[in-house]
Structure 1
Amino acid sequence: MYPPKHHQDYNEENIKSVATAYPFATLVSAQNTIPFITHAPLIFHGDKLVGHIDANNPHVELLKDNYPITVVFQGPQTYISPSIYTTNQLPTWNYIIAHARGIVKEIKEPEIVKKSMVVMTEFLETPNHNFKLSIEDPRMDRLVPYIHCFEIEVQQWEGKFKLSQDKVPADIENARQELIKNNQKDVADFVNGLFEKHF
């Protein structure tokens, strides 16, 4: 990522927290000059990221042993109007992004694939755990052949947290509140609009 130092975060735990809070990731691989991009949730198993995609996805060919990959986790983001600042500023865009670069390893053992699905479901059901996936569920055995499971050994984490850090304290706080407010409102407006048009 383009790295102005005041927007970079070098604390690995801070960067990983983005991946934990926003696990729906963008997976990016390349073969020759052709990019392959897939969106899927990834969760931590120890220090590794584990995920599953449809076995018919052509990206599968690049999610096998020793292939390099870049993963993007996007946290909240928003346009920042100069009108929210106490000082004279120009428009900007604030965002929280984490990149992970690493090497892929394919997971083929059916019991490990099923276990990874159970662990992922348990994580995604946090905090209320209204549903528990059983590894003994017979549907799991029918599903496994159609799933490509893989883990990523992360070799480098990058974090870019553009949060108006170069502004005065009052403006930093105003930008923080704008980021929170706009993400809540934008999601509600967008989803409600889609439902009105399509359902």
Structure 2
Amino acid sequence: MYPPKHHQDYNPENIKEVAKIYPFATIISAKDNTPFITHAPLIFHREKLVGHIDRNNPHIGLLNEKYPVVAVFQGPQTYISPSIYTSKQLPTWNYIISNATGIAREIKDPAAIKESMVIMTEYLEAPNNNFELSMNDPRMDRLVPYIYCFEIEVKHWEGKFKLSQDKVPTDIENAKKALIENNQKNIESFVNQLFEKHF
């Protein structure tokens, strides 16, 4: 990522936290100048990122040790209007993004695939855990042959947290409020519009 130092976060735990809170990743590989992009949740398991995609997805040919893979986790982001600042500024965009670069390996053992699905469900259901997926659920056995399960051994984490760090304290606080409020309003408005169009 483009690296202005005041926008970079060098604390691995901060960077990983984005992936934990926003696990739906953009997974990117490339071969012969052709990019392959897949969107899927990835969760931590034994310090690796684990995910599942459809076995018919052509991306699976690149999710192995021959090709590097990048997983992008996007946190909150928003347009920042100069009107929120106490000082004169130009419009900008604030965002929180983490990148994980590593090597993917297929998980082939059916029991391990089922275990990873149980662990992922448990993680995503937290903290209320209203649904529990059982290893003995017969639907799992029917589903496993159609799933490509993989883990990513992360070699490098990079975090870019553009949060108006170069502004005065009052403007930083105003930018923080705008990031929170705009995400809440934008999500509600967009989802309502989307449902009105499709249902």
**TM-score, with structure 1 as normaliser:** 0.99
Tell me the equivalent position of 1:31.
31
Query: Taking every aligned residue pair, what percent have the same amino acid on both sides?
Result: 73
- More divergent stretch after superposition (189-198 vs 113-122): 189-198
Distance 1:126 1:167 in 2: 37
On the 8 A contact 1:66/1:105 being kept in 2, the answer is no
Q: Which residues in structure 2 correspond to 1:35-114 (within 5 Å)?
A: 35-114=35-114
Following TM superposition, by how much is the alpha carbon of 1:46 offset from its aligned partner in structure 2, in angstroms?
1.9
Deviations 1:138-187 (A, max 9, x none): 00000000000000000000000000000000000000000000000000
Any idea what SS the aligned residue of 1:118 has? helix
Structure 1: runs of 5+ lacking an equivalent: none
Distance 1:197 1:50 in 2: 34
Tell me the equivalent position of 2:125.
125
Structure 2: runs of 5+ lacking an equivalent: none
Any idea what SS the aligned residue of 1:88 has? coil
**Aligned residues: CA RMSD:** 0.6
Following TM superposition, by how much is the alpha carbon of 1:196 offset from its aligned partner in structure 2, in angstroms?
1.1
Any idea what SS the aligned residue of 1:194 has? helix
Establish whether residue 193 from structure 1 lines up as the match of residue 164 from structure 2: no
Following TM superposition, by how much is the alpha carbon of 1:66 offset from its aligned partner in structure 2, in angstroms?
4.2
Structure 1 consecutive aligned stretches of length 4 or more whose deviation exceeds 3 Å: none
Distance 1:143 1:60 in 2: 17
Distance 1:182 1:127 in 2: 25
Distance 1:97 1:81 in 2: 20
Any idea what SS the aligned residue of 2:36 has? strand
Distance 2:113 2:121 in 1: 12
Distance 1:123 1:11 in 2: 23
Distance 2:112 2:198 in 1: 39
On the 8 A contact 1:122/1:129 being kept in 2, the answer is yes
The number of aligned residues is 199
Distance 2:42 2:147 in 1: 14
